[in-house]
Chains A and B, each alone.
Chain A
Amino acid sequence: MNAPVTNEVSQNLATYNFAYLDEQTKRMIRRAILKGIAVPGYQVPFASREMPMPYGWGTGGVQVTAAIIGSEDVLKVIDQGADDTTNAVSIRAFFAKTAGVATTTATPDATIIQTRHRIPETPLTAGQVLVYQVPIPEPLRFLEPRETETRKMHALEEYGLMHVKLYEDIARNGHIATTYAYPVKVEGRYVMDPSPTPKFDNPKMHQSEALQLFGAGREKRIYAIPPHTEVVSLDFEDHPFEIQHFDQPCAMCGAEQVYLDEVVLDDKGGRMFVCSDTHHCESRQAEGHRGALLGDDASTGKEATR
């Protein structure tokens, strides 16, 4: 008996569409996504909308997610690998409210994973879509500030400047010192910014099972990498591309070959390294893996460095 009343009230309230964006905006974004998939690595301009969050909080990724998400989808949102930081929690709550979709923190359960600057450690599968929040989509922007020029450089496949930048890294530091937003070449054609993911994650983009979509809200660009696409990190024959290596395992779950965050413990130089991917770390702890600083089992852990 209260249902009709509720309906009447809600009919009189200003409301928003499923997943916040209106249908025409979704159509415009969907068309951009299709072009992005057809030309892997090419940045498709789109009419980015104002979202109820400031630029820099993932408005590009949110718009891409809003355009593709359906009521059957299960959404995971990560911020630097973590499911429980402000940006991740608020975007997850945004879609739980505006689209009524199920959310999860478990990587294998998600159909759409929106990410800020990490790729999950758990390998992605064929049904999944990874949506990146991108601040500066143009890899050449810090080398050439004019959009007219960078557009021409992409058109002519003129990427010598990028190699000069990497060479200057080597000349100054003895090695390529770029550690994040490490430029990649997609399918032998477009040089692309993988968003500020650590270069540790670059190899995961290559021949991925999942579709990867990139949204830059402030810069109004969408680009994409289809599954099973060649993504090569730029390098030199005598200075091949290398990912970061850590000389100790995760202090919480003992994982090796994963990306670790450094956490300062005190003012005497104490520090620990823990998995940046919180779901990966928690599921390993649940499986009984123990790192050095977890406290309840020292048998598997090594001494933490000071």
Chain B
Amino acid sequence: MTAIPQTNTVYEGGFADPVWASQTVFRALMDAMARPGSVQALSDVTVPPAPLSASASALIATLADADTPVWLDAALTKVSAVKDWIVFHTGAPVVSNPSDAAFALVAAPQNLSALNGFSLGTQEFPDRSTTIILQVSTLSDGAPLTLEGPGIKGQARVAPDPLPQHFENQWRANRAAFPRGVDLILAAPGCVAALPRSTRLVSREA
């Protein structure tokens, strides 16, 4: 397997065809969000600096712009090229306080301790919340999650890995705050899934 060549400069690796690429990525994401747990194919349309992944960078390039502050986790903050790439290609301001962020990019979900440090929106404006893009290595080989809720016929299963610590408890707390809460986008190599705040986890022992 040949590694995807990493670009030397932050000015390269954006969308070659922004209109087509962002529409394609968005439709995959919209379908993922509308059908929680379903895995949607995502082609590599961006070449970001490591450790930012191709799918996470395509999503942030599709969604973020000058109106949407972006927060980066420690693994991404360590590499200044990641921040520079995002700023150059999207124009989004990078913020250090997670509760200020419209989008959060997380390269090491296992080190993410709390979902409630992000903005949950308000009861009047639940849309003013952070959407968290988690870079995961798989959507099928991790510990399986059983999902219920809007967009799901009966139950759905997805098995992402890695996930934040104590994820099931954290997600229950997030669901309990509904309509406030964060939405998760799971960006795996070549595919994407989503857990909107409306999705409920079914206990494994049940």
Contacts and interface: CB of A to CB of B under 8 A. Distances in A.
User: Do the two chains belong together in a single complex?
Assistant: yes
B26 interface: yes
A151 B124 contact: yes
A71 B129 CA distance: 31
A28 B65 CA distance: 9
A126 to B, nearest CB: 8
Interface in B122-146: 122-127, 129, 131
B178 interface: yes
B19 A228 contact: no
A42 interface: yes
B50 interface: no
B147 to A, nearest CB: 12
A293 B18 CA distance: 54
B23 interface: yes
Interface stretch (A31-39, A247-255, A265-273, A282-290): A31-39
A97 to B, nearest CB: 16
B131 A34 contact: yes
Interface stretch (A17-25, A52-60, A135-143, A232-240): A17-25
A211 B23 CA distance: 17
Contact of A70 (B24, B35, B64, B150): B24
Given A23-B19, A42-B127, A68-B26, A226 B34 contact: yes
Contacts of B24: 70
A184 to B, nearest CB: 14
B75 interface: no
Contacts of A187: 149-150, 198
Given A38-B196, A39-B127, A229 B150 contact: yes
A120 B100 CA distance: 43
Nearest to B123: A155
- Which of A71, A156, A227 has the most chain B CB within a 10 Å cutoff? A227
Nearest to A17: B19
Interface of B: 18-20, 22-24, 26-27, 29-31, 33-35, 62-65, 67-68, 102, 122-127, 129, 131, 149-153, 178-179, 183, 196-198
List 6 A-B pairs, minimum CB-CB distance, nearest first: A38-B196, A226-B151, A155-B123, A35-B127, A229-B150, A228-B153
24 contacts: A23-B22, A27-B64, A31-B102, A34-B33, A34-B63, A34-B183, A36-B127, A39-B126, A39-B178, A39-B196, A39-B197, A40-B150, A42-B126, A44-B127, A45-B125, A45-B127, A70-B24, A151-B124, A190-B179, A211-B31, A226-B150, A227-B153, A228-B151, A228-B152
